[in-house]
Structure 1
Amino acid sequence: MNLWQVFRIAWRAILGNPLRSVLTTLGVIIGVAAVVALTMVGQGSTANITRSLQSLGTNLITIGSNTGGRGGGFGLVRFGGPQTITLADAEAVQSAFAGRIVGIAPTLQSNQQVKVGASNLNVTVIGTWPDYASVRNAQPASGSFFNETDLQSRRRVAVIGYGIAQDLFGGQDPLGQRIRIAGISFTVVGVLPDKGDSGFASPNYQVMVPLSTYLQRLARSSSTGQPRVNAIYVQAPDKDSLSRLQQELTDFMAQRRKVTDPSEYDFSVQNQADALASVNQVTQTMTLFLGGVAGISLLVGGIGIMNIMLVSVTERTREIGIRKALGAKPRDILTQFLVESVVLSVGGGILGILLGLAMAGSVGQLLRVTPVFDPFSMVLAFLFSVAVGVFFGFYPASRAARLDPVESLRYE
C-alpha cells in the first residue's frame, strides 16, 4: 500500500465524521491561532514603543525624580510622585556641561483646558526651554518654536500639537491666532507635525509654552524656594557618549546633593537606550509568556487528538482485522492511523494560522497597534502542530497495529 492510498483512506475516515474531526482539532486551531496572534501583536507593540521613544528625541538622557531609592524602573519619568528636581539643577547642568551637550530642556507639565471660541480640549501643557524643540524632536511643521527672548520676557506664546490644531481650528491656519489656556490668552507661534496617536501623552495633544511663563501664569502656587520641575532632558552629542555622559551627570547630581550612597539618591539619570532595552525586554517577556500559555492549548489539542484516535481504533477494530486478513502489514495499519492524526493536526494548524492572522488584525485595530508579520512564528507554530499530531497519534496507531487479526474479526 503506497502513501497516497493511505492518505485517501485516512481522509475518508476523517470525512466520515466531520463534526467530530473539527471538534478534535479545535484545541490545535485555538493554540496555533493564539501563538500567531500574540506574537504578531507583541512584536507590533514592541515596534510601536521603539518608534515612540525614538521619535521623542535621539541620544536622550533624562534626569528625573526618584524617591524610591536607586533604579528608575523602565527609565521613564514618573510625574505623579513627589518632585525632587529643581530648575536650579537644570541651570547648574547647563553651566557645568556647556560645550559637552547639544541641548538641555527642563519640563514642568500639567493637564489644562485649552479653548478657542466655543470649542475646548483637555490637553497636556508643558513649560520648557527653547532647546526642547531639538532635544525632544519637536520642530514645528509650520511657524517656529519660541526662542530665548520669549523665555526671558515671559511671553504668552505657544506651540500646539497637530491634533489640537485640527480639532480647534479645523481648516484654518492657527498661526497668529489666540488660544486660552486655563483662561489665559496665548498666541500660537508654531504647530507640530502629525506624530500619530501613541496611546498616552500623545504629542498631537500637547502645548509647549516658555517655562518662565508657565511658572508665572499656569503653575500652582508653591512654597518658597527653587521651582521644581518634572524632568530635565539632556541631549548628548552622539550615542557613543551616552553612557559616559550619563555617569558624569549622575556624579554631578550626587555632588550637588552631597550624597555618596546610591541607595539615598532622590533622582534618577536614565539614557534612552536603557529605557528602550528595558521596555523591549518586558514586552518580549510578556509575549513569550502569553505564547507559552497559548502553547498549552496545543498540548490540550494533542491530548484530544489522541483520545479521539483511541476511540477510532476501538470503533474500527473489525475493519483493522479485515485489513490484516487481506494482507495488510502492521506498518500499514500504523501508517494509516498516524496519517489520520497528522492530517487532523495539520488541518488544525492551517486553520489556526488563518484565524491567528484575522485575530491579530482585529486586536491590532482595538489596541491601535500595527501587527508585525512574522513568518518564523507561523512556521514554528505549524511545525509544532505537526509534531503534536505525530506524538499524540503514535500510541493509538501503534495500538491499532498490534491488534490480533483473529480477535479483531471476532470483535463486536
Structure 2
Amino acid sequence: MSAAMVSSAPQKLRSRMAGMNPWQVFSIAWRAILANPLRSVLTTLGVIIGVAAVVALTMVGQGSTANITRTLQSLGTNLITIGSATGGRGPGFGLVRFGGPQTITLKDAEAIQAEFSGRIAGIAPSLQSNQQVKVGSSNLNATVIGTWPDYASVRNAQPAQGSFFTEADLQSRRRVAVIGYGIAQDLFGGQDPIGQRIRVAGISFTVVGVLPDKGDTGFANPNYQVMVPLSTYLQRLGRSSTGEPRVQAIYIQAPDKDALPQLQQELTDFMAQRRKTTDPSEYDFSVQNQADALASVNRVTQTMTLFLGGVAGISLLVGGIGIMNIMLVSVTERTREIGIRKALGAKPRDILTQFLVESVLLSVVGGTLGILLGLAMAGSVGQFLRISPIFDPFSVVLAFAFSVGVGVFFGYYPAARAARLDPVDSLRYE
C-alpha cells in the first residue's frame, strides 16, 4: 500500500465526520437512544405524562363545557331565573338556592305575570322535591315539579306524546302529570302511558304527556322528572299548608335575546320595590339571565382546565430535567467517543448538534407517545363521565411544541458541555 493511500484514509474519515448530513446525525442519535431502551423510556416518562395530561384535560374540559352549555340551552331559551339569593351579592349575582329557606313566593310570580303581561313570552314558578313514583309493583325515585302550564315553552318541555297540562287543570287542581321518558320506559315498558295512572308519594295522578328523551346530562336527569300543576302540588305534595306559598324559582322567558338585559333590570327593580328596599346588599332574591349562567359556568370550567393544565405542565418540566440529567450522563459515558470524533475533524458545532438532536428526539418521541396516551385517556374519562371530549388541534400542537421546546432547552447545556470538551483530555478519559 502506497504512502499516499495511507495518508488519504484519515483525511477521508475527517471529511466524513465534519460533513455528516442530517440523516446521518439522526441515525447516530437514534442508535444512541436505542442502546439503552429502558433508560430512554424512563427519561421520556415525564414528557409522556405531561403531554398526555394536557391533551386529555383540554379535551375533557372543552367537552364538559360544551355539554353544560347544551344542557342549559336545552332547558329553555331567552331565560331569566328569579330565585332566593345567598345574600349580599347584589342584583343579578345571587345564587339560586334549592335548599334552606325560600324567599320567593307564589304572589311574586302572580304579580310579575300581571305587571309584565305582554312583555314576556311566558312565566312559570317552580317547586320541586324528590318523591317515589309507583306503577303497580314497580317504583322509582324521581324529581317531582309543581309548576304552571307555561313551563312547557319556558323550559323547553314540550311532550313528545300527549300534551302538557292546561290552565284549567291548574285552576281545578287536577291530579294530572307529565312524565319523563325514562319513567315511561321503566314503569310502562312498551305500553302507551297516556291515560294511565301513576302514584306519586301515594297519591294517584293521570298521565297526560310524556317528554322526549333528553339524555343523561349529569345533573338532575330530565328523563326522570314528573310535572304536575303547582296548585295540585301545594295541596297534595307540599310539606306545609300554612303561610304564604313559596317557590324555589320563577322562570321567565323574554321575547328575544336582545330583550334579556333590560328585562332583567326591570325585574330586579320590580322585586326590590315589592320588598321596599333599594339596597342591593339587602336583596333576598337573585335575578339571573341565561347568558350570565353560561358565562359563569364557562369561567369555572376554563379556570379548572387551566389550573389542571398548569399542573400537567409541571410534569413536562420534570420530564425536561430528566432529559438534562440523562444527557449529562450520556456525555460523561461517551467522553472518549467525543475525543475521537474531534480528533477526526468534528467541530464543536457538530458535537453540539449531535447531542442536541438526541435530546430533541427524546422529547419528540415522548411528545408523540403522550399525544396518543392523552387521546386514549380522554376517551376513557369521557366515557366514564358521560361526556363527549372535543378534539382541539391547537392544544395538541401546543403541547407537542412545548415538549420539543423542553428538549431543546434542557438539552442545550449537556450538548454545549460535550462540544467544549478538550479532545486530548477526552482521549485520555477512561
Change (3 A) 1:72 1:162: farther
Contact 2:51 2:399 survives alignment (8 Å): yes
Query: Structure 2: which amino acid aligns with 1:383?
Result: A
CA displacement, residues 105-146 of structure 1 (integer Å, 9 cap, x when unaligned): 000100000000111011100000000000000000010000
Offset, 1:73 = 8.9
Q: 2:178 aligns with which of 159, 176, 196?
A: 159
Q: Which residue is equivalent to 2:140? A: 121
Contact 1:76 1:275 survives alignment (8 Å): no
Aligned partner of residue 371 in structure 2, secondary structure: helix
Offset, 1:67 = 3.9
Alpha-carbon distance in 1 for matches of 2:105, 2:139: 32
Offset, 1:71 = 4.6
> What are the ranges of 5 or more consecutive residues in structure 2 without an aligned counterpart?
1-19
Alpha-carbon distance in 1 for matches of 2:359, 2:215: 48
Q: Which residue is equivalent to 1:88? A: 107
Alpha-carbon distance in 2 for matches of 1:202, 1:72: 29
Query: Structure 2: which amino acid aligns with 1:45?
Result: S
Aligned partner of residue 61 in structure 1, secondary structure: strand
Contact 2:59 2:389 survives alignment (8 Å): yes
Contact 2:86 2:97 survives alignment (8 Å): no
Alpha-carbon distance in 1 for matches of 2:218, 2:137: 26
Alpha-carbon distance in 2 for matches of 1:73, 1:171: 45
Alpha-carbon distance in 2 for matches of 1:127, 1:259: 30
Q: Which residue is equivalent to 2:206? A: 187
Q: Which residue is equivalent to 1:11? A: 30
CA displacement, residues 350-378 of structure 1 (integer Å, 9 cap, x when unaligned): 00000000000111111111100111100
Query: Structure 2: which amino acid aligns with 1:311?
Result: V
Name the % identity: 89
Query: Structure 2: which amino acid aligns with 1:230?
Result: Q
Q: 1:277 aligns with which of 282, 292, 295?
A: 295
Change (3 A) 1:123 1:365: same
Query: Structure 1: which amino acid aligns with 2:262?
Result: R
Query: Structure 2: which amino acid aligns with 1:68?
Result: G
Aligned partner of residue 194 in structure 2, secondary structure: coil
Offset, 1:76 = 5.3
Offset, 1:81 = 2.2
Aligned partner of residue 127 in structure 1, secondary structure: strand
Query: Structure 2: which amino acid aligns with 1:81?
Result: G
Alpha-carbon distance in 1 for matches of 2:86, 2:356: 62
Q: 2:399 aligns with which of 364, 368, 381?
A: 381
Equivalences for residues 335-350 of structure 1 within 5 A: 335-350=353-368
Alpha-carbon distance in 2 for matches of 1:88, 1:31: 56
RMSD of aligned Cα (Å): 1.0
2:377 maps to 1:332: no
Query: Structure 2: which amino acid aligns with 1:381?
Result: A
Q: Which residue is equivalent to 1:266? A: 284
Whichever of the two has the greater Rg, that structure is 2
Equivalences for residues 343-358 of structure 1 within 5 A: 343-358=361-376
Q: 2:256 aligns with which of 225, 233, 238?
A: 238
Q: Which residue is equivalent to 1:405? A: 423
Query: Structure 2: which amino acid aligns with 1:139?
Result: Q
Aligned partner of residue 270 in structure 1, secondary structure: strand
CA displacement, residues 39-66 of structure 1 (integer Å, 9 cap, x when unaligned): 0000000000000000000000000001
Contact 2:92 2:288 survives alignment (8 Å): no
Contact 2:88 2:280 survives alignment (8 Å): yes
Q: Which residue is equivalent to 1:363? A: 381
Aligned partner of residue 168 in structure 2, secondary structure: helix
Offset, 1:223 = 3.0
Q: Which residue is equivalent to 1:209? A: 228
Aligned partner of residue 108 in structure 1, secondary structure: strand
Q: Across the two proteins, how many residue pairs are aligned to each other?
A: 411
Offset, 1:200 = 2.0
Alpha-carbon distance in 2 for matches of 1:277, 1:85: 24
Q: Which residue is equivalent to 1:22? A: 41
CA displacement, residues 225-280 of structure 1 (integer Å, 9 cap, x when unaligned): x2000000000000101000000000000000101100000000000000000110
Alpha-carbon distance in 2 for matches of 1:201, 1:115: 19
Alpha-carbon distance in 2 for matches of 1:90, 1:69: 23
Query: Structure 2: which amino acid aligns with 1:38?
Result: L
Offset, 1:212 = 0.5
Q: Which residue is equivalent to 2:6? A: none
Q: Which moved more, 1:113-122 or 1:60-69?
A: 60-69
Query: Structure 1: which amino acid aligns with 2:321?
Result: I
> What are the ranges of 5 or more consecutive residues in structure 1 without an aligned counterpart?
none
> What TM-score do the two structures reach when normalised by structure 1?
0.98
Contact 1:6 1:339 survives alignment (8 Å): yes
Q: Which residue is equivalent to 2:339? A: 321
Contact 1:67 1:82 survives alignment (8 Å): no
